[in-house]
Structure 1
Amino acid sequence: MEAWNLTSVTLQMEKMMEERFGFPAGEWSEARREAHFLGASLRLQARDLLYLYTDIERIFGISIPGEEIANGTFTSFTGVISLIMDQIKAKEPVRHGR
């Protein structure tokens, strides 16, 4: 099982966006990271988000709660990175101190 951190998650997402949609990895400016997936800048289709959703669950080994879709978190690169990190942290075992 991969040990994911913010950097590795971001790089994997860039790779996924390049492979799936043709957006060159490494060219994600702050404005592009904040852009709405379905907006004029990125111009993804709703069905593209389904592909992205299933890719994320498969690659990162997480389940994306429906409320995260409904509340608008799954609408931008930055939002998805945050969602992934939250789900990875939620899966981590609780460590008890002595």
Structure 2
Amino acid sequence: MPGFVLLVHDRKDGSDGMRIGITVTKKIGGAVVRNRMKRRFRALAREFLPLQGVAGADHILIGRAGGIERDFDDLKRQLVKALAKVAQ
């Protein structure tokens, strides 16, 4: 099971800008755990969205229960795979 779910929604407003949304529910853990997960997602987004994201779309990362324990490199591979799937 992946550490997150990636949703990509085309805004259809003619803009080429990409936006990111991050959500992590209280089911995942306390505030410290949720904020750590959000920081990891922001770092992933900074690294990969400018290169592989969909222009003119909103990218939403939804944290999953196993995501905080995952190795950061594993999360990178998952995001690259998910972005490649969306690009098809």
Is TM more than 0.5 here?
no
Q: Which has the higher strand share?
A: 2
| Greater Rg by CA | 1
TM-score computed with the length of structure 2 as normaliser:
0.36
Q: Which has the higher helix share?
A: 1
Which protein, 1 or 2, shows the higher relative CO under an 8 Å CA cutoff with sep ≥ 6? 2
